[in-house]
A and B are shown apart, each in its own frame.
Chain A
């Protein structure tokens, strides 16, 4: 189970990125499948060519931000539907990612020094120590996201996703907030890609396929369990959702499913998380809870 914790925490950074677009901007961004691999590919090829770890990771993140900017501009300037804009970028990135990796489908990192070399050499991988270290990094990223959403720019980003008409009438350039939001989100997704590539010891052209579903599963499952009323709650839920999601996958693997079934399980999980809350008894429970909160807050 420790391995599920490690992987869940690594992917939590991606889940936080998906939270920014899917929940905050109300923009279901499918760029993620491509930009994740872009981050991994950029980082891997730079590591192989001898660049320092931090340079390779920052470059991967910047490449992901550029991918997000393209989706944003397609939507804002080109008036292309959000889903379609994301799919177009994602498909284009497939070719670009292959080119980044020198027209190879796979770049191994087995002999390169990575962020995790120190952990591995000292036997810290798959221990509670590595879990604590990963959790600290995720907490730091989560705090940055929380801080950002409370700044003037962050609040205008949230208003853009919440009520665009109001945002524009209050002087918010919603085109800019959307593009910047997509850049930050995809930057985080790509950063996650650089981490995963180093963790598993290779970058692969197909490593991002279906990842958006894992991201959505993390956000939706996490927020169904931990709530999303306050911003800190929603951020925490996205990160913990990722750990829960990987836990569920791990349990499925331990019970006779094979890795090829994982995409199906992910999809079913997302469908359940989206449909279950609409189920009568659960709905009633939520309504009661809301009424109680309203009463406590003094609104009849």
Chain B
């Protein structure tokens, strides 16, 4: 479904600040896979999602979706297959548009946008039904501007907008990190439900070890632009946060001692 083939991304190439954010990454997601991604700051997790979404151009390698090479496809065209929820609850919705207008945009993802009315009574029914699955009462406030909603409500709406059109790939970039624990819990639950309902192939970055273990069927750990640990479906069922932290410390320690040796 999604295949990264030796994907490389450098920031500030050719300057003293050059930094390899992704170092020839190989990763394959099969249909229905839900892979959680953990790793320290600057490990390249978010960069990987941005490369899949087409926000950053590649410096090497290929991105394939459904066997199609999309490495040169611009972001807005890739949106037909790739949907995202960002860490910032404000990023995924349009604040001055109403709830129904935001949903209208999401439900037309990957289609032409013509001069038909964006919101019709028939569509309102569909929106109401979809919003009811969030259990936040938003279905009764279709004409409210999204800027009036709380962060948690906006993130729930972003999640709905990302998943409703059944994207081939769903990218979640620490999408619960900016929320309070109760809201984060809610969004985590809604994520699990949405992914299961639409059988979505998902790549989720998280800082929360428990969330990384709880959600998804596979797990990868990244460090300095490389995938340093892959946990498959069988192993993931039994792994604990302590074991992951231990692995993490080992890898980090190894990287540190390598550098110490080089210095």
**Inter-chain contact B148/A152, CB cutoff 8 Å:** no
Given A152-B108, A170-B106, A171-B80, answer yes or no on A163-B93 (Cβ-Cβ < 8 Å). yes
A162 near B94 (CB under 8 angstroms)? yes
Q: Tell me if B122 is interfacial: C-beta within 8 Å of chain A.
A: no
Contact indicator A156/B113 (Cβ below 8 Å): yes
Contacts of B115 in A (CB 8 A): 148, 151-153
Q: Inside 8 A of A174's CB, which chain B residues have their CB?
A: 76
Binds B, one of A49-57, A130-138, A291-299: A291-299
With A151-B116, A297-B144: A170-B161 Cβ-Cβ less than 8 Å: yes
Per the CB 8 Å criterion, the residue count for chain A at the interface is 27
Q: Can you identify 28 A-B contacts, CB atoms within 8 angstroms?
A: A151-B117, A152-B108, A152-B116, A153-B113, A153-B114, A153-B115, A155-B105, A155-B119, A158-B96, A162-B94, A162-B95, A162-B96, A163-B93, A163-B95, A166-B91, A166-B92, A166-B93, A166-B94, A169-B75, A170-B79, A170-B161, A171-B79, A171-B80, A171-B110, A294-B148, A297-B141, A297-B148, A299-B148
- Any chain A CB within 8 A of the CB of B77? yes
Q: A156-B105, A171-B110 are in contact. Are A150 and B96 (CB under 8 A)?
A: no
On whether A158 and B113 interact (CB within 8 A), knowing A152-B118, A174-B76, A297-B141, the answer reads: no
Closest to A174 in B: B76
Q: Which residues of A contact B53 (CB under 8 A)?
A: 169
A150 contact set on B, CB distance < 8 A: 117-119
Interface readout for B129-159 with A: 1 if CB under 8 Å, 0 if not? 0000000000001001100111000000000
Taken residue by residue from 61 to 102, chain B's Cβ proximity to chain A (1 for < 8 Å, 0 otherwise) reads as 000000000000011110110011010001111111100011
- Chain B's nearest CB lies how many Å from the CB of A113? 34
The chain B residue sitting closest to A159, CB to CB, is B94
In the assembly, what is the distance between CA of A162 and CA of B77, in Å?
Answer: 20
Min CB distance, B87 to chain A, in Å?
Answer: 12
Residue among A153, A158, A169 with the most chain B CB within 10 A? A169
Q: Does A173 contact B (CB under 8 A)?
A: yes
| Bound-complex Cα distance A298 to B144 (A) | 10
Scan residues 156-190 of chain A and give those whose CB is less than 8 A from a CB of chain B. Answer: 156, 158-159, 162-163, 165-174
A154 touches B (CB below 8 Å): yes
B226 interfacial contact with A, CB 8 Å = no
Q: Please report the C-alpha to C-alpha distance between residue A56 and residue B99 in the assembled complex, in whole angstroms.
A: 43
Q: Top 3 nearest A-B pairs by Cβ distance?
A: A171-B79, A155-B118, A152-B113
CB B47 to nearest CB in A, in angstroms, measures: 16
